[in-house]
Amino acid sequence: MPGRPGLAPETIAVLAASTHRIVITGASGWLGSATIELLHDALGDALHKRLRCFGSNARTLALRDGLSVEQRPLTEIGLLDPQPTLVLHLAFLTKDRVEGMDTDAYSAANAALSEVVLDALDRIGAVAVFVASSGAARSAGDANADHAMRLYGGLKKRDEETFAAWALDRNRTAIITRVFNVSGRYINKHQSYALAAFINDALAGRPITVRAPHQVIRGYVAIRELMSLVLRLLADSTPGVVRFDTGGDALELGEAAAVVAETLGSMPVDRAAIISDRVDNYVGDRADYDRLRAGFGIATVSFADQIQETANYLIGTDRAIG
């Protein structure tokens, strides 16, 4: 869509010059949907020739502006004909599913997803794979983390090592990213994610409320900024393993809420008193992310612009920032 903020121009140029097939697993999720739309905005109709999507079942993914793509069951990924392929592995049962499933069943289900993808990589001609890990991976062995976080994080960490080993054994490429907090199009779980809740309050003209009685620190990056870097690294396909956390400025939720209020209409912010010494810090180590991003000339999307872009998506528009 003309004027809609999208992938970095440098990434678009590299993708347009490439002939690699692009495969996305877990295509119907937040990251998958946003990536499909970003690729379509960048490549236009050429996307349909190059993209193959997989998920839990066969269905048509209906995105915005009349865009639709076909998703096949993940079990069919190995049936693709062999050709140079960039794989974005996003298929995973997320942390919120832990509490609704037996622990062993949850672990087995995620292991099965990864095994299907891993077994298919050589057969379909994968030259590079992106693994969307999670900041939860650093909590895998943390006795102070709750059960769901430890279990989810441990499985994510296992995926990191499994796909890294594939790349090293075959002299191919693995991009391993621990995703902490992202913003932008296709944001979901509006009551679970603080940023979405703050923006929805602001759009409704309600005071923005932060109830936590302790410090909660988050750092946000725009999904289009993150995927500009990921897709550029995949397209380059330099053999080896690249690992990084997502970046973003560390903000206490009261500070984040204040920026939302200022950006969307100066409504009041009600930050509950901080009466506990506990600090909930879910922010990645941004050093490698910033180094890689700057090296490719990918500009940072300011937090204010992230808020506006996310709000535009939530209200069904995508006017350009500025």
Model pLDDT for residues 72-119, shown as the tens digit of each residue = 999 999 999 999 999 999 999 876 766 677 889 999 999 999 999 999
Q: What is the DSSP string of 65-86?
A: TT-EEEEEEGGGGGGSPP--EE
CATH of the domain at 111: 3.40.50.720
Q: Which of the four pLDDT bands, split at 50, 70 and 90, describes residue 252? A: very high
Q: Which of the four pLDDT bands, split at 50, 70 and 90, describes residue 318? A: low
Phi, psi angles (nearest 5°) of residue 303: -65, -35
Locate 108 and state its tokens: 């087995």
Spatial distance between the Cα atoms of 156 and 106, rounded to a whole number of angstroms: 12
| Residue 231 placed within a domain | yes
Q: Which residues contact 217 (CB under 8 A, 6 or more apart)?
A: 250, 251, 252, 253, 279, 280, 281, 282, 283
What was the pLDDT predicted at 322?
Answer: 32
Q: Which one-letter amino acid corresponds to residue 295?
A: G
Alpha helices in the chain (DSSP H): 9-17, 30-43, 46-50, 103-124, 147-170, 194-203, 223-236, 253-264, 287-295, 303-314
Give the global pTM: 0.94
| Residue 270 placed within a domain | no
Identify the three-state secondary structure at position 317: coil
| Residue 191 placed within a domain | no
Note down the domain range covering 120: 9-183+221-247+284-300
Count the domains in the chain.
Answer: 1
| Residue 202 placed within a domain | no
User: Over pLDDT 90: what percentage of the chain?
Assistant: 85
Q: Using an 8 Å Cβ cutoff, are 43 and 50 in contact? A: yes
| Residue 204 placed within a domain | no
- Cα 241 from chain centre: 18
Spatial distance between the Cα atoms of 94 and 148, rounded to a whole number of angstroms: 10
What was the pLDDT predicted at 189?
Answer: 75
What was the pLDDT predicted at 2?
Answer: 52
What was the pLDDT predicted at 298?
Answer: 97
| Residue 34 placed within a domain | yes
Summarize the confidence of residues 158-165 as an average pLDDT: 98
What was the pLDDT predicted at 205?
Answer: 93
Average pLDDT of the chain to the nearest whole number: 93
| Residue 307 placed within a domain | no
User: Over pLDDT 70: what percentage of the chain?
Assistant: 95
Summarize the confidence of residues 160-170 as an average pLDDT: 98
Spatial distance between the Cα atoms of 122 and 214, rounded to a whole number of angstroms: 48
| Residue 54 placed within a domain | yes
Identify the three-state secondary structure at position 211: coil
What was the pLDDT predicted at 1?
Answer: 56
